């Protein structure tokens, strides 16, 4: 591996297709982007792991959206971890990077540092939201939390909501190369069957206790055999191959799928990026009740707000928000 190859593949998503299996997929590598996402907060290790997994999933799933669209993942639960939210902003122009951001809400007093990570979300739902821009109705799909990881939830979502068998193999953690500081790295592979040509496929009835579909419920015959073979090949992948940087994504695809007719497309660069701004925060505060805003005024006479994604700090005077709070009667 050379420094050039490392730079070329870090913080990218590489789409590919297995022509002999009618399966598409993506390989993602996150380095500086994930480090920036997590460095905005002082999360405990358990929360860092959940945010890292959610960010990886968002990069893999989001790569398919169009220019200037926005894809969001929301995971909500009734456990110690109440929310994980991520956003993928499609490039503004061809060749430009997509942007990622993420944060988590949790109760530190309820966290069990030595307990299972995924279980601390509790019961809840996994949702994907797609915002296609001004004048378009946002798309939203929701499925219950299932399995033992966020990857399991994402796979169940695609099987149930889209009837597309989907598999994720992810790895993430802190890594240290010679001469470098310890920092976060992550990588993963996504496999997904190609969508059916007809949108009028017969509705399938789930046979599992949780009421959700699985890949075996959707595929049969040659399609099912192709899917099982590709998954068996993916089962051989090792964590260091996923994370890199010693194995390049193209080398990984050749190693895994050289007999499946793997064909790669142009890689999508990724960057950390937040869309927060003073006008957006001001617009959000305008929805608050007058009494609530009055309670938010600090001793310095300003109302403050912090972005949960990037930590940016905003301050407004009551006059800037259209209030004086002097002589105003509560509605």
Domain count, the chain: 2
Pair (238, 286) in one structural domain: no
pLDDT value at residue 216: 73
For 231, the 3-state DSSP assignment is: helix
For 138, phi then psi, to 5°, come to: -60, 145
Q: Which two tokens stand for residue 152?
A: 């399991």
Pair (63, 190) in one structural domain: yes
Pair (293, 220) in one structural domain: no
* Residue 329 belongs to a domain: no
Pair (184, 286) in one structural domain: no
CB atoms within 10 A of CB 306: 12
Instruction: Residue 57: give its domain's CATH number.
Output: 3.55.30.10
* Residue 41 belongs to a domain: yes
Pair (186, 255) in one structural domain: yes
Pair (172, 307) in one structural domain: no
Pair (67, 116) in one structural domain: yes
For the whole model, what pTM was predicted? Answer: 0.87
Pair (96, 72) in one structural domain: yes
Cβ atoms 182, 176 nearer than 8 A: yes
Return per-residue pLDDT of the chain as tens, 331 residues. Answer: 444 455 589 999 999 999 999 999 999 999 999 999 999 999 999 999 999 999 999 999 999 888 889 999 999 999 999 999 999 999 999 889 999 999 999 999 999 988 899 999 999 999 999 999 888 888 999 999 999 999 999 999 999 988 999 999 999 998 877 777 888 999 999 999 988 643 434 455 555 677 777 777 788 788 999 999 999 999 999 999 999 888 999 999 999 999 999 999 999 999 999 999 999 998 888 888 888 888 888 888 889 999 989 989 999 988 888 776 654 444 4
* Residue 331 belongs to a domain: no
* Residue 2 belongs to a domain: no
Q: Enumerate long-range contacts of 246-254, CB under 8 Å, 24 or more apart.
A: 246/1, 247/1, 248/1, 248/5, 248/9, 249/9, 249/12, 249/14, 249/27, 249/29, 250/14, 252/27, 252/189, 253/14, 253/16, 253/27
* Residue 217 belongs to a domain: yes
* Residue 312 belongs to a domain: yes
Question: What is the per-residue pLDDT across 68-113, written as a single tens digit (0 to 9) for each?
Answer: 899 999 999 999 999 999 999 999 998 899 999 999 999 999 999 8
**Structural domain that includes position 301:** 278-321
For 83, the 3-state DSSP assignment is: strand
């Amino acid at each position: 591996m050379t420094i050039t190859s490392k730079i070329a593949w870090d913080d990218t998503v590489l789409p590919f297709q297995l022509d002999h299996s009618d399966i598409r997929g993506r390989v993602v590598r996150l380095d500086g982007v994930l480090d920036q996402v997590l460095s905005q907060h002082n999360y405990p290790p358990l929360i860092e792991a959940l945010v890292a997994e959610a960010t990886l999933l968002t990069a893999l799933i989001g790569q398919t959206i169009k220019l200037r669209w926005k894809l969001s993942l929301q995971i909500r639960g009734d456990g110690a971890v109440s929310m994980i939210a991520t956003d993928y902003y499609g490039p503004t122009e061809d060749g430009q990077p997509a942007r990622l951001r993420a944060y988590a809400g949790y109760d530190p007093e309820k966290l069990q540092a030595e307990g299972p990570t995924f279980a601390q979300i509790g019961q809840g739902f996994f949702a994907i939201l797609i915002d296609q821009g001004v004048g378009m109705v946002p798309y939203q799909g929701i499925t219950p939390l299932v399995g033992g990881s966020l990857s399991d939830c994402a796979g169940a979502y695609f099987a149930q909501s889209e009837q597309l068998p989907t598999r994720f193999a992810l790895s993430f953690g802190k890594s240290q190369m010679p001469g470098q500081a310890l920092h976060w790295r992550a990588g993963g592979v996504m496999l997904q069957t190609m969508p059916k040509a007809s949108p009028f496929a017969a509705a399938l009835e789930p046979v599992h206790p949780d009421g959700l579909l699985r890949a075996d419920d959707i595929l049969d015959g040659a399609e099912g055999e192709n899917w099982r073979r590709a998954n068996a090949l993916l089962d051989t992948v090792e964590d260091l191959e996923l994370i890199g940087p010693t194995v390049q994504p193209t080398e990984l695809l050749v190693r895994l799928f050289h007999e499946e007719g793997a064909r790669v497309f142009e890689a999508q660069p990724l960057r950390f990026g937040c869309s927060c701004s003073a006008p957006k925060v001001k617009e959000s505060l305008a929805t608050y009740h007058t009494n609530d805003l009055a309670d938010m005024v600090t001793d310095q006479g300003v109302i403050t707000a912090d972005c949960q994604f990037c930590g940016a700090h905003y301050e407004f005077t009551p006059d800037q928000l259209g209030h004086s709070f002097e002589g105003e009667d509560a509605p």
